[in-house]
Each structure stands twice: as C-alpha cells, then as structure tokens.
Chains A and B, each alone.
Chain A
C-alpha cells in the first residue's frame, strides 16, 4: 500500500503477574490506537500477560533525557 497513511510509534508495556512491575517490552507502529492494540497483542503474544497496554510515544512528556555524548547528537 502507499505511504499516504501516517503510522505512529507506540510503546508496549506488560505485566506478567499481578503485583509485578509493568515492563516496557517493545514498540509497534500503527495508524490508530485500535490497530496498535491489536498489533501489540499479535506481536508480543509470547507470554500469558496479566496486563498489556500501549502508549503513543508522542504523548510521553519527557522530564529528563540524556544529553548527546558527541556534537552530532546535540552534545558539546
């Protein structure tokens, strides 16, 4: 298909057992939230997760990010 559709990056988080940490396990690229959820389940189906969620990466508000080590990465 053509590249007309915008695909967004989603981070995928899962919890393996109740009480365990919610862990970042990967990403999916999808044009909508609904497809991102379906893709996450299809791609990261290797465990019987008790919880799984997707977060649009563009909705993450960064408080602190590492500075680049080299000039090309924005460092000094």
Chain B
C-alpha cells in the first residue's frame, strides 16, 4: 500500500475506533444504571467488546504507521468520533448512538472485507462477527424505546435522528473521498454506504411502530 492509501485507511480505522472507545466508556458509565438487570449486564458486556475492538483498531493503525515495539496505551480518542457519541448523557442517547455507530461501522467493515485481502480480513473478520451482537442489542432496545410510553418515543426518535445524521455524513464522506482506497482495490468503485444505512434507519423506525413480535 502506498502512503496515501495507508493514510486513508488509518483515518477510517481511527474513526471507527474513536466511536468504540467512547462508547465503551459510556456503556459502563450509563449502562451500569440501565433499565433492568439484563440490560445492564448486556451493556457491560458490550463495553468490554467495544473497548477491545477500539484497542485492536488503534494497534492496527500503529502498525500501519510503522510503529515497532510495545504499543502505547490509548486513553483518548483521536478527535474523529461522532459529536453525538461524544455527548451521550442518558440511556436513550447511549442506545441510539450504539446502534448508529455499530450500523455505520458494520457497512464500512463489510466493504473492507469485500476486498478479500488477507491483511484486512484477518484483522476485521472476528470484530465484524462480534459486532453483530452489538447491533442486535441496540436495535432490540431501540424498538422497545420507540414503543414505550410518554415522551420516550419522541426522545428516541430525536436521538436517532441526531446520531444518524453523523452516521450519514461520515458514510457519504467515505463514498466521496476514499479515492486512494478505491484505486488500491480496497474499496469498491461502486461503493454504496449512505443509502443502505438510511434504509436501515427508516426500517427501524417502522419496526418501532409495530408491536414487539416474539416468535
């Protein structure tokens, strides 16, 4: 990979890692007083997962920069996290941002995995599989919140709209600006991220209006 391609890849990885690092912290801080015991235990398990993923992605970016020896501990994001992730202050915002960050990262990681390059697949395959659980958890909770009583559905819709705007902007910027990654065959020239993401959000909002289904 040439230097410009590496720079673009590092920016992608750090964006995902920054969100995961902050979410890992918020899942503990806010998730510990979740609405029920299972939700809290789930949030703590997700936090461990998010922090582990962030660590893996930061270490990969260090490797790409040619860092040798012991990797430094990362205690702060690199400044690329979604603004809504940065300002999570309650359960509704936590769940909305966990879903948006996971769903948008899921699309980007799938696009990277589609390159079938061993150096990428080996780093991301396990992370991508584990992330499916975070998607299920946050989606399940969003459906509940959207069907809840009082002001909760309205707050949830607002939190989801705010977070998904960040997600859409990020995905659109990847589609438009990842020229080197496309030229290197790491991302497809017909990359389509923002539209499937927006479709997922609208499907979620529709599902939230239906009664919770249990098979």
The interface bits of chain B over 133-154 (1 if a CB of A lies within 8 angstroms of the residue's CB, else 0) are: 1001101110111011110100
B138's nearest neighbour on chain A, judged by CB, is: A38
Interface residues of A (CB under 8 A from B): 1-2, 4-8, 28-35, 37-39, 41-43, 45, 56
Tally of chain B residues near chain A (CB < 8 A): 28
> Is B137 touching A32 in the complex (CB atoms < 8 A)?
no
A34 proximity list for chain B (CB < 8 A): 136, 139-140
**A-B interface contact total, Cβ < 8 Å:** 67
A6 proximity list for chain B (CB < 8 A): 212
Shortest beta-carbon distance from A53 to chain B in Å: 14
The CA-CA distance from A37 to B133 in the complex, in Å, is: 9
A42's nearest neighbour on chain B, judged by CB, is: B45
> Is A42 touching B148 in the complex (CB atoms < 8 A)?
no
- Of A2, A4, A32, A45, the residue contacting B214 (CB under 8 A) is A32
> Is A39 touching B41 in the complex (CB atoms < 8 A)?
yes
Shortest beta-carbon distance from A52 to chain B in Å: 13
> Is B137 touching A5 in the complex (CB atoms < 8 A)?
no
Shortest beta-carbon distance from B126 to chain A in Å: 15
A43 proximity list for chain B (CB < 8 A): 38, 41-42
A45's nearest neighbour on chain B, judged by CB, is: B45
> Is B44 touching A2 in the complex (CB atoms < 8 A)?
no
A2's nearest neighbour on chain B, judged by CB, is: B149
> Is B41 touching A1 in the complex (CB atoms < 8 A)?
no
Q: Is B129 an interface residue (CB 8 A)?
A: no
Shortest beta-carbon distance from B35 to chain A in Å: 4
Shortest beta-carbon distance from B213 to chain A in Å: 7
> Is B38 touching A5 in the complex (CB atoms < 8 A)?
no
The CA-CA distance from A57 to B41 in the complex, in Å, is: 21
The CA-CA distance from A7 to B39 in the complex, in Å, is: 12
Shortest beta-carbon distance from B160 to chain A in Å: 16
Q: Is B70 an interface residue (CB 8 A)?
A: no
